[in-house]
């Protein structure tokens, strides 16, 4: 038979229980709907015989779509216990027919495990994954410490230019958004404090609330969260892109240490910039609290400064500054580790950037809680 868009219905030649089907025309994607009908026709006509010979001598053009349909028809006929043979196929057609082999897709078997056991399994996998992630983090921290010890003994190998550039990117360019966020948060805390304490005639204690809360907790915590979302994600994306483009492998082939060249300048820039940004955040939050206290609670700037001086001490300010480098170290290490864990796809890069931000924010909050317990235990 001739199976193409021009000749329909097909002619079938039979001999001794067998059928010979001659295909003709263009079996390409442009005639996909018509080819679907013709492929089904092959199955319907061929199933009436014991053996089918498919002649491809008159097929002018064949692509993967046509080859796949022919292979599917062959498979369906074979499933109906009909022998199938191809004749007069060109060499290029043989290649397509071999590469576009048809196979059935079996649906995965449904799990019959109870939902409760599946939930326990998911929890177990999450616990094991978290433990492995913690192990990777400790191992990466060890590698970083070793690399920094080598840099300390061989300072000429350190990239000071890269350190300055990343301090500008992480510190200087982050300052405007950090100032804005902390001014707003300081004002919100002051407004809520005045509103609640005014019921007891103790609105002046709002200054103590703002000073202690901002200097000990809010300033450094908000700064760390902003840096994790802004700079931590950027570090992960940069290292992940370099990993995808095999630039990381190229550095290793050249005999260069990835930690010394790429990670150390970024992490050190974070560690050095974070205390400065925390100080800026503290001042911005106090300024926002002072403005709201002046306009909403009638506390003048001079009275605000006097009450603030009585409420806080030097160690109140130092608590937040001490936390800052440790939080920066955690953010930098997590960002670098997730960046190096990127695989060769854009999906993997997006997943690692998301994971980096989430884990950094989580660890920053955990670290802040541990510091709070520590400072309370030493009465600092």
pLDDT in tens, 96-116: 777 777 666 666 677 677 878
Distance of alpha carbon 334 from alpha carbon 141, whole angstroms: 10
Query: Mean of the pLDDT values across residues 10-23?
Result: 63
Q: Where is average pLDDT lowest: 83-92, 174-183, 315-324, 368-377?
A: 83-92
Tokens of 208: 């103590």
pTM over 0.85: no
Contact 175, 273 (CB under 8 A): no
- Is 91's pLDDT higher than 90? no
Coil, helix or strand at residue 23: strand
Q: What is the mean pLDDT of residues 151-180?
A: 89
Highest mean pLDDT among 8-12, 97-101, 145-149, 273-277: 273-277
User: Residue 152: helix, strand or coil by DSSP?
Assistant: helix
DSSP string covering 62-80: E-HHHHHHHHHHHHHHHHT
- Written as six digits, the tokens of 97 are 């027919």
Taking only the tens place, the pLDDT of each residue in 309-319 is 988 889 889 99
Residues 239, 244, 249, 250, Cα dihedral to 10°? -90
In a 3-state reduction of DSSP, which class is residue 245?
Answer: coil
What is the per-residue burial (b if ≥16 Cβ within 10 Å, else e) of 232-261?
bbbbbbebbebbbeeebeebeeeeebbbbb
Q: What span, in angstroms and rounded, lies between the C-alpha atoms of 9 and 376?
A: 90
Is 10 exposed, middle or buried, given 0-12, 13-18 or 19+ CB atoms closer than 10 A?
Answer: middle
28 compared with 301, residue with greater pLDDT: 301
Helices of type H across the chain? 32-46, 64-79, 91-99, 115-153, 160-170, 175-197, 205-213, 219-227, 233-244, 247-253, 258, 264-297, 301-311, 314-340, 346-377
Chain mean pLDDT for the chain: 85
Query: What residue has token string 């809520």?
Result: 192
Q: Residue 235: its pLDDT value, please?
A: 93
Q: How confident is the model over 6-33, as a mean pLDDT?
A: 64
Cβ neighbors of 256 (< 8 A, separation 6 or more) are none
């Amino acid at each position: 038979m001739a199976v193409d868009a021009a000749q329909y219905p097909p002619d079938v030649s039979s001999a001794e229980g067998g059928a010979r089907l001659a295909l003709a025309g263009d079996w390409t994607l442009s005639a996909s709907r018509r080819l679907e009908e013709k492929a089904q026709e092959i199955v319907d006509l061929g199933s009436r015989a014991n053996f089918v010979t498919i002649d491809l001598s008159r097929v002018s053009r064949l692509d993967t779509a046509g080859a796949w349909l022919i292979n599917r028809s062959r498979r369906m006929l074979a499933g109906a216990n009909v022998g199938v043979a191809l004749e007069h196929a060109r060499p290029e057609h043989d290649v397509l027919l071999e590469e576009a082999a048809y196979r059935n897709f079996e649906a995965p078997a449904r799990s019959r495990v109870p939902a409760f056991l599946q939930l326990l399994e998911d929890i177990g996998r999450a616990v094991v994954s978290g433990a492995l992630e913690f192990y990777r983090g400790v191992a990466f921290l060890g590698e970083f410490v070793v690399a920094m010890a080598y840099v300390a003994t061989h300072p000429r190998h350190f990239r000071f230019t890269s350190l300055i550039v990343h301090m500008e990117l992480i510190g200087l360019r982050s300052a405007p958004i950090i100032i804005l966020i902390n001014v707003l948060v300081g004002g919100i805390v002051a407004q809520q404090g005045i509103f609640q304490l005014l019921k007891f005639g103790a609105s002046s204690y709002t200054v103590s609330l703002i000073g202690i809360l901002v200097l000990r907790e809010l300033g450094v915590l908000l700064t760390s969260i902003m840096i994790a979302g802004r700079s931590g994600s950027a570090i992960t994306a940069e290292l992940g892109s370099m990993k995808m483009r095999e630039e990381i492998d190229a550095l290793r082939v050249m005999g260069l240490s990835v930690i010394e060249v790429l990670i150390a300048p970024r992490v050190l820039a974070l560690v050095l910039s974070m205390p400065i940004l925390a100080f800026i955040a503290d001042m911005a939050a106090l300024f926002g609290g002072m403005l709201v206290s002046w306009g909403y609670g009638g506390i003048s700037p001079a009275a605000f400064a006097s009450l603030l001086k009585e409420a806080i001490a030097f160690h109140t300010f130092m608590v937040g500054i001490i936390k800052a480098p440790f939080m920066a170290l955690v953010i930098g290490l997590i960002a670098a580790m997730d960046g190096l864990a990127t695989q060769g796809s854009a999906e993997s890069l997006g997943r690692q950037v998301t994971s980096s931000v989430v884990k950094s924010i989580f660890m920053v909050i955990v670290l802040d809680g541990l510091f709070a317990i520590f400072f309370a235990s030493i009465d600092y």
